Structure 1
Amino acid sequence: MTVLDHDVVADQLKNAPTENKSVLSFVSRIAALTTPDDIVWIDGSEAQKNEIAEKLVEAGTIQRVNGTKDSYYAASDPEDVARVEGRTYICSEDEKDAGPLNNWVAPAEMKETLNPLFEGAMRGRTMYVIPFVMGHAEADQPMFGIEVTDSAYVVLSMLVMARSGKYALDAIDAQDAKFVECVHSVGAPLEEGQEDVAWPCNTTKYITHFPEDRAIWSFGSGYGGNALLGKKCYALRIASAIARDEGWLAEHMLILKLTNPEGVVKYVAAAFPSACGKTNLAMIEPTIPGWKAETLGDDIAWMRFGEDGQLYAVNPEFGLFGVAPGTGYTTNPTAMRAIEAGGNIFTNVALTDDGDVWWEGKTDEAPAHLTDWRGNDWTPESDTPAAHPNSRFCTPIANVPTLAPEWTNPNGVPISAILFGGRRKTTMPLVTETKDWTHGVFMGSVLSSETTAAATGAVGVVRRDPMAMRPFIGYNVGDYLQHWINIGNTEGAQLPKIFYVNWFRRDDDNSFLWPGFSENSRVLKWVFERVTGTADAQESPLGLTPVEGGLDTEGLDFTDEQLRKALAIKPEEWETELGLIEEWYAELGDSVPAELRAEVDNLRERLGLA
């Protein structure tokens, strides 16, 4: 059958593993619109997962990886390799609620655009129904979703990235819970007798969010964040809008557990833009004797107030979706051991001649011959990378050898410190503690990374990325910053300290001043001791910085002069920076909170630049 008419929809839904009217109504509505050949409810079982994987192998979409157990490799269409920010929309009722950083289309207008695209979009394909929960079903405020998709690759990936299947559906039924409606199609219907391609997608792409409806519709892409709708779409864009309404935070942050030699434990959340080492920090192996770091999450943190007034963070994800290039035993041995444990889905990396995977940075030396992500022969003399720069490993978080046992706590862990950090050659010191919560929000609002044109040596462009959430804020950025300030004004709140770090400052000869990677544990030690009140700090125009000898550099080939330069606050650099910050706030417009504009004036005064 090529068309699923209403009678067949009703017939297949009679066999659904639920009697929940909301669930059945949603699935029925989308099936009637998209007309798939078949409906399959995902139960999360190994047997069903293996059956779906086998179909994908037969279709040529994935292949088994030799050398890593229970793992698969997929190569996407070359036009479908990353998130498409230009085709990502926040469809709030009021344009003001989308703000200056989001693309906006009125919900009614977007639905008029999407309906014809989705009409018959699953013809010739199977519709998979994936019930899932972000975080735990046992949480005080469980957050459910149901994704319908015509991509079996998405099914396999969602089984890694979110708690999916019968566990989630049973909880939705038992709690009669609301859920976020997630609708996804690759946009490649098949006519009768038409042969499929290995990676179906469409040149027309829409990734759309309806904050008031708590719904996500994605069309045309089978890749990552465009198609795994529990990830950025739900866990950040929709969840941030829910968090605004309910008084909590949905953030693009890692969660890390630190234990000092005396056994005292503190939990840290940290936000970094891409290419700033967030996953490496989430899995750091401290170089200081007696200190221990454990992972709770590498990408997303949901923080809610507990009864004691502290912010408790939970990682809503079930897996890691990491950028492969640059991940290796020298940069992130913990991630490598997690990958080795198996159950991975690799996308757009390279293949070795014996059917294993490889990417730049996995080993110090590249193999003599590879098949690159486009399927072409590759040697170390080739002038293109073997793996796509945004190639990914999708890996169960349970594989992480340093996973903290508290990861299973449905209501999370109390956060004592929040770190913001970007990649800056100048201006930003190695570490500074902000003066108070509002000052910390200010520092987060101007979070930035610098790009450089290495070939010409040109100074790079500073790109602002507030709280590392620029692509993921589900509403107006000014309202988002006001929400952060409001969180700080919550009655009875025991707020975390906020710090700003910069591992990437350069010396005059363009060398890095700080060794970075595992040595960042030395900065974490100072942060920990500031939280526990056991480390001194000195006032600076930017906040509080380590006193002389306050940063543990024992055993490090690192001079006092290098440290002084890494921590320096130079008024001449900040004169330029303040101008850039004012330009940034002007770009954001009137919605920037007055408290943050006042912070600019106060900082100018403290720097003697008023």
Structure 2
Amino acid sequence: MREISTLTIASYTTKPEGVNPMLELRKGDDILSTVGGITSITEAQAILKDKLDAENFSKISKITNTEALIKIANAINMCAPDHVFINTGTPEDQQWIRDYSLSQEEEAPLTKAGHTIHFDLPQDQARLVNQTYYIINEGEEMSSLAKSLLRPEALTYIKEYMPNVMQGKTMIVGFYSRGPVGAAAALPAIEISSSGYVLHSAEILYRNCFAAFDAEAARTGLFFTNVHAEGDNTSADVPNARILMDRSWGTTFSTFCTYAGNTLLLKKGNHRFSVDYATYYKLEEQLSEHMFITGMTGPGDRITFFAGAAPSGCGKTTTAMVGSHFIGDDLAQIWLAEDGTMRAINPEKGIFGIVEDVNQEGDPNLMDCLRGDGTEVIWSNVLVNDGVPYWAGNGEETPQSGVNFQGEWFPGKTDAEGNPAPISHKNSRCTLLASAIKNHATDLAEDPAGVPVKVVTYSGRDADTMPPVWVAKNSNEGVVIGASIVSRATATEVGATGVRRQPWANAPFIPGALADYMKAQFAFYNSAKFSDNNAPIMAGLNYFLTHENRGSNEAGILGEKKDVRVWLGWLELFAHGDVEAIDTPIGYLPKYGDLKILFAGIDKEYPRELYDMQFALYIDNILGRIQLQKDAYSKEPGIPQTLFDVYNQQEKDLLSLKEQFGAIALPQMLAA
């Protein structure tokens, strides 16, 4: 067996010139090895031969990466499963996983072929934010928004709860690539779980790279390892659930939960590790972002690609789906290519999408998959009536009975607190291949070269301050737009409430100090390696302004889902110099005439009165928002002065504007 343990960590631990990493790799005890007890390939081979049947041992023998085999052997020794199944990604192995999940009653078949339903425990319907921790070493600087455990504390938990946790169960081991195999920013990972549902989801959401795993681990110099055990899957176990992410060793541990956001740690767990990697070891070269990727068709059939960040529940999937060339709706691995363009790939090949308010009017392409034939879909936590799924906001008639995440459901049912029981959980999901969606650009999405990104957007959930769309005047102001996102906590997070800052919409997934991440953002977007006119424009989006906050007697949001096409359409034109804009202290705003034309393109009137409500600058609100951010960031050590310089200049210009026009500046005043 080929010895490549040193090679697998070389690029990850080598300090790039000019970088002083605050994250030291392979520091402290490797908890998986400490608890599993396997330290050599000879011991690992003995465990694998003893615990795997002949067929599965033959499969694993095709993997030659010594470190990977030792990690798998340690997981087996620690968790003590009755059986081990090696998933090579063949149709036969994929079908075995589907059948296993059904046999364990983790999923149940629905009426439509290829559709199944999965119910999470009532206490495990979203990310367990208060039970999610980074495993750190003494003295490591962490994000102020992150929770952490020192290595000895994490070791104590794992020693107590993970030995023998898979007794009576089958451990499934899969090998995946987070991105098209061979892409500059793609990274390989191993997913280990006793849950058929978790591996079924992995097969839809990620690219199985069993055949290429050794080569990819050698090319990238690292891989991530994820170990999940649901235990007995009872409500009584959920308080003991933990999602632990070992930054130094690139290993996650997840216990006593089944919600995919807590268990399929290829997703947000490994995204966090990728953020660390880009921040500390790929400065000015790569970013790892909580972003959609989509392409818009402009004049002359040109395709302009967007990458956009938004916290969960703030329209990220809807925005992605608007594109004519949809690539991904959640995550992006980004790099600065040799040709001086910003390139992006989707680390996923599927969608784990929130279904509340998905309907034919706003999401026709997705609805064709969910209600049509021929698409494999795993549903979670929706209402099922006669084998058909229903969810809140689907635009269809609600049945009078069914089963959902709380058991039997009927109109008028209340929960334990006396609140009306919804037909589906607010975080109910659908899992399906992205390539099933009509506007998915599958060939481009699978191209290791990635797509060239021309527009970067940031959006949150803001009812009273920022306009629907605005463009930063330069890259520094663009980074500050990302740093200034605010939102409300959503149903994607258990135990989180209220209005919160959501820097870059990536803050929940930034392990290290926010100052380090911010420096990496400024370094990337200001890189001299961008070729002429290839640096992206950077913009803000806000779909959540309300009538009440803009002086209207009506109620609700100032707009609707289909307006997204207009905001992106204007950005596409602006990025190519096809439209002019209004210069303001916060950036460039669209002119009314250009938007009116774009709204006509979606068969919608756009009165001047609505434009004025949406794009008027409520100066006191903006000043208050800037002060909120300045106060918060002033408590963060090491924040680059550039951030405060941008805020200070915007404050100065806004106060000057207020002196000239008063507290509310209408667009026509600014354009004069």
TM over 0.5: yes
Structure 2 counterpart of 1:467, one-letter code: W
Higher helix share: 2
8 Å contact from structure 1 (residues 118, 187) kept in 2: no
In 1, Cα distance between the equivalents of 2:616 and 2:641?
A: 28
Q: Secondary structure at the match of 1:145?
A: strand
Please give the root-mean-square deviation of Cα atoms over the aligned residues, in Å. 2.5
Q: Residues of 1 paired with 2:116 and 2:265: CA distance?
A: 21
Tell me how far 1:176 sits from its aligned partner: 9.1
Equivalent position of 2:85 in the other structure: 40
Equivalent position to 2:267, from 208, 231, 234: 231
Q: Per the alignment, in what secondary structure is the counterpart of residue 479 of structure 2?
A: helix
Q: Is the partner of 1:534 in helix, strand or coil?
A: coil
Matches within 5 A, 1:201-220: 202-220=238-256
Task: Say whether 1:464 aligns with 2:501.
Answer: yes
Are 1:322 and 2:353 matched, yes or no?
yes
Q: 1:131, 1:168 within 8 Å by CA — same for their partners in 2? A: no
1:346 equivalent in structure 2: 379
Which of 375, 393, 412 is equivalent to 1:361? Answer: 393
Is contact 1:92–1:211 with CA below 8 Å preserved after alignment? yes
- CA 1:577–1:473 in 2, change beyond 3 Å: closer, same or farther? same
Paired letter, 2:82: D
* 1:124 is aligned to 2:163: no
Q: Which consecutive residues of structure 2, in runs of 5 or more, have no partner in the other structure?
A: 1-35, 415-419, 491-496, 659-672
- Distance in structure 1 (CA, Å) of the matches to 2:356 and 2:404: 13
- Over 3 Å counting, the alpha-carbon distance change for 1:165 and 1:553 in structure 2 is closer
Deviations 1:279-317 (A, max 9, x none): 111111xxxxxxx72210000011101112211010010
For residue 307 of structure 1, what is the aligned residue in structure 2? Answer: 338
Instruction: After superposition, give the CA deviation of every residue in 1:343-382 in whole Å (9 maximum; x if it has no partner).
Output: 1111111101x21111112233212222222221323776
Q: Does 1:578 align with 2:626?
A: yes
Q: Give the alignment of 1:466-485 within 5 angstroms.
A: 466-485=503-522
Identity %: 25
Q: Which residue of structure 2 lines up, in the alignment, with residue 279 of structure 1?
A: 317
8 Å Cα contact 2:184-2:335 kept in structure 1: no
1:29 aligns with 2:82: no
Contact 2:178/2:207 (8 A) holds in 1: yes
User: How many angstroms does 1:168 deviate by?
Assistant: 4.6
| Cα 1:173–1:601 shift into 2, 3 Å | closer
**Segment drifting more, 407-416 vs 45-54:** 45-54
- Mapped to 2, the partners of 1:40 and 1:165 lie a distance apart of 16
The TM-score with structure 2 as length reference comes to: 0.82
**Deviations 1:484-503 (Å, cap 9, x if unpaired)?**
01112322224211011112
* 2:605 maps to amino acid: D
Which string of whole-angstrom CA distances, capped at 9 and with x for unpartnered residues, describes residues 127-159 of structure 1?
111111111223235410011111111111111
Work out the CA distance in 1 between the residues paired with 2:394 and 2:305. Answer: 30
Amino acid at match of 2:188: F
Calculate the TM-score normalised by the size of structure 1. 0.90
Between the aligned partners of 1:333 and 1:134, the Cα distance in structure 2 is 28
Bigger mean CA offset, 5-14 vs 389-398: 5-14
Is residue 2:334 matched to residue 1:297?
no
Aligned to 2:651: 604
Contact in 1 for aligned 2:181/2:209 (Cα 8 Å) = no
- Residue 473 of structure 1 aligns to which amino acid in structure 2? I
1: CA distance between counterparts of 2:511 and 2:447?
Answer: 27
Give 1:512 shift: 4.8
1:128-207, aligned counterparts within 5 Å? 128-164=172-208, 166-169=210-213, 171-172=215-216, 178-188=222-232, 202-207=238-243
1:336 pairs with 367, 371, 384, which one?
A: 367
1:548-598 CA-partner distances (Å, limit 9, x unpaired) = 4132333422210210110111222223223322232245x2232211011
Name structure 1 gaps, 5 residues minimum: 189-196, 285-291, 453-459
Correspondence for 2:423 among 375, 381, 386: 386
Q: Distance in 1 between matches of 2:212 and 2:126?
A: 28
Q: Which amino acid aligns with 2:567?
A: V
Which of 573, 592, 601 is matched with 2:639 structurally? 592
Find the aligned partners of 2:287 and 2:607 in 1 and give their Cα distance: 40
**More displaced stretch, 56-65 vs 167-176:** 167-176
| Alpha-carbon distance in 2 for matches of 1:592, 1:166 | 42
Deviation at 1:429, TM superposition (A): 1.0
Establish whether residue 222 from structure 1 lines up as the match of residue 261 from structure 2.
Answer: no
**Which sits farther off after the overlay, 94-103 or 481-490?**
94-103
Aligned match for 1:58, one of 82, 103, 107? 103
Q: Would you say how many aligned residue pairs link Structure 1 and Structure 2? A: 582
Secondary structure in structure 2 of the residue aligned to 1:105:
strand
Moved more, 51-60 or 249-258: 51-60
Q: Does 1:243 align with 2:278?
A: yes
1:450: Cα distance to partner?
Answer: 4.7
- 1:377 matches 2:422: no
In the alignment, structure 1 residue 563 sits paired with structure 2 residue 611: yes
Q: For 2:148, what is the secondary structure of its paired residue?
A: coil
The worse-fitting range, judged by mean Cα deviation, of 76-85 and 550-559 is 550-559
